[in-house]
Structure 1
C-alpha cells in the first residue's frame, strides 16, 4: 500500500516509518483515522493467518530469534521463560518440547494475564480485528495470508492507487527467516493432542470466524470463504 501511494517501497522496516503513512500511534493523525473509519470513507481490509502457523512463527521469531536491535525480544522475556517454563532457545535444543512449553506460557498470558499481559504477536487475531468494528468500522475484505496474492489482487481492484502495483512480482517483506533457528519439523509435528487443545482454547474464535481447520494443523489454507456479516456480528457483540 505504501508503494501504491509513493511508487517506491519504504527503505527499512515499515514500523519505523514516520512520514508517508498514517498510523494510530501518531497523535496528529488520530482524528482523521477515526473519521475515516466511522464514515467508511475508504476501502477497509485486514489480513489473518492460520493460528497454528502463526503461534509457531511467533515462537521461532519472537522467542528464539534475535531481533533487529541485536537482542532477544522484550529483553528479559527469554530468561524468564527459561527459568519459569524450562524453554530452551539456544544450540541443538528440542524444538518440539520447547514449543509446547511456550504454548503453556502463551495460554497463561491470555487466560490469566500471568506472568505478563498477552503479546500482540500471539493474542487472538479476532481481538485485534474487533478494535475497528467496536469503534464503528466495517471491513470490506479479510485476506488470508495463505492466499495473499489472490486476496490483495482483489483489494487493489477496489483501491484508487497513484502507482500500479504488480502483486506477482512484489518482493516479500517482514520475513522472519534468519531471525532464529530453522524449523526442523513439519508444522503438524509440533502439535500433539494436548497442544491442539491449547491452541483451540486460545484461538477458538479465530478458527470460527476465519474458517481455519482446528482439527488439522497440517492444513494451512482456510476451509472456505470468510462470512463478513458473521464477523461483524460476533466482533460487534
Structure 2
C-alpha cells in the first residue's frame, strides 16, 4: 500500500536508523520488526532461546485472532510511540473493530449519539432564531411580512454533517459495504490513508507489537514483499496461523459480511463466488483489488503450495489444545508438535469473544451452496486435510462427489459435457431437488454470532 510508512527493514537498509538505535528503542534489528523489551537471549548455537523467540501470527480472516490481540495487548502496544493524532485514530479503529463484530450495520454507536445531539441542537437553533442574525437566509422585510424563512446556514451545515456521519458510520464504512463493494473499499483506503494521513495506521499494528506476539492481517508473502520481514528472518521466529473447516469459515464470513439478516446464505454464496472467480482469474491478493476475506486460507500460509508458516493449527483443535489433550499442528504440511511458545500462547488466549449462532453451520447448506464453497476452497480442503463432506448432511454427498461442476448450469459429472444434448440431459436439477435440512438457509434468521473463537477483521 503506497501510504504505509517505511518498514524497519528498509530503514535499516537505507541507513536511516542504526541497529544500535533500534536496540535503544527496544526493537530487534535481527527480525526487522518492532519489539518491546530487551534483545532476546541466545542459546549455545547462537539462536534465540525458545522462551524469548519472537512470535509471528499470520491472521487468516474469520479463523481466529482477536483473542490473541487481547492476549498480547495489541490495541495498547499499537499506539506506543505514536503522536496524539494517531493514538486517537487507533483508539477509534479498535472501537470500530469491536462494533463490526456485533452487527453488520451498527446503529447504537457513539457516532449516532453525536448525530442525535447535532440534530437536536441544530433544530433548536433553527426554531429559537439565535443564529439567524449571523447567517440569515431571508431579509428582515421578509421576516416582518411573516415569510417562512429557511433554516440558517449553520443549521443546514449541522444537518448535513449529521446525516453524513450517520450514513458513513452505520452503512458505508462497514464490512458488507466497504468489503464487498470494491469502489467503496478503495475510497476508504484513499480517505484514511492519504486524506487523513494514515489516521488508523501504525507500523507496529501492521508488523507486530512485541516479542511475544506479532499480529499481521497480511498474507505472509505480502509481509515479505513489503519488507516487514525477510525470508531469512523466519529462521529466528516462531510463525503460526489458525485455520478452520472451509464450510464453517464460509458461514462465519457470511455472518460478518452479509447485507443484514434479510440476505440469505444462498444469495451471499452466489455473490461471493463471483468475487472468487475474479480473484482466481488474476491471482492478485492485493487488498486494492480483492477483499482479503475472499482469499483461500492457503494464500496466507503457503507460497506455491509450499508451507512457509512454521505451525498451522486447526481451530477445531483449540479446545483440546487448551485442555492439554491435543498438541499437533501442520509443519511443512506434515503433523508435528506445536512449538512450546506457540502452545503457551494458545493456552493463555482468552475466549471472551465467543459468539452464538441460531443453528449449526451444517444447516446453512443445500446442494448448490455446498458445491460452490467446495469449488472456491478446494485447495484448502486438500492442503489442510479437511473432509469435503459435511457432517450430518449425507444428502449433499452426491453434489460433492462429482469431479466436474459448472456453476452457471449446475452441471455435475465426471468430465465436461461433450455435446449440448449431453449437457441438457445431465444438467443437475438434482442440485436443488433435495430440500435443505431443518432451519434451512432460506429462513432469514436474525443476526447471531458464532460459537467459535473466530472473531477477526
TM range (shorter): 0.5 to 0.7
Structure 1 105/136 Cα, relative in aligned 2: closer, same or farther at 3 Å?
Answer: closer
Report the Cα offset of residue 156 of structure 1.
3.8
CA contact (8 A) 1:200 1:214 kept: yes
Q: What is the alpha-carbon root mean square deviation over aligned residues?
A: 4.1
User: Equivalents in 2 of 1:32, 1:112: separation in Å?
Assistant: 29
The equivalent residue for 2:87 is none
The equivalent residue for 1:147 is 317
User: Equivalents in 2 of 1:201, 1:137: separation in Å?
Assistant: 21
Matches within 5 A, 1:44-193: 44-63=239-258, 78=259, 89-90=260-261, 93=262, 98-113=264-279, 117-130=289-302, 133-134=303-304, 138-148=308-318, 149=321, 150-151=326-327, 154-157=337-340, 159=341, 165=344, 167-168=346-347, 170-172=349-351, 175=353, 177=355, 183-193=357-367
User: Equivalents in 1 of 2:306, 2:388: separation in Å?
Assistant: 30
User: Equivalents in 1 of 2:77, 2:250: separation in Å?
Assistant: 22
Instruction: Determine which structure has the larger strand proportion and give its number.
Output: 2
Report the Cα offset of residue 205 of structure 1.
0.5
CA contact (8 A) 2:269 2:369 kept: yes
Structure 1 58/135 Cα, relative in aligned 2: closer, same or farther at 3 Å?
Answer: closer
Could you tell me which of 378, 386, 390 is aligned with 1:204? 378
TM-score by length of 2: 0.31
Structure 1 109/169 Cα, relative in aligned 2: closer, same or farther at 3 Å?
Answer: same
User: Equivalents in 2 of 1:185, 1:31: separation in Å?
Assistant: 41
CA contact (8 A) 1:152 1:167 kept: no
The equivalent residue for 2:233 is 36
Structure 1 alignment gaps of length 5 or more: 64-77, 79-88, 220-237
TM-score by length of 1: 0.56
Specify which structure has the bigger relative contact order, considering alpha-carbon pairs within 8 angstroms and separated by 6 or more residues. Answer: 1
Report the Cα offset of residue 187 of structure 1.
1.3
- Number of residue equivalences: 172
User: Equivalents in 2 of 1:127, 1:26: separation in Å?
Assistant: 12
User: Equivalents in 2 of 1:152, 1:12: separation in Å?
Assistant: 30
Q: Secondary structure at the match of 1:121?
A: helix
Q: Which protein has the larger Cα radius of gyration, Structure 1 or Structure 2?
A: 2
Structure 2 alignment gaps of length 5 or more: 1-35, 37-50, 55-70, 79-89, 91-203, 281-287, 330-336, 394-457
Structure 1 136/200 Cα, relative in aligned 2: closer, same or farther at 3 Å?
Answer: closer
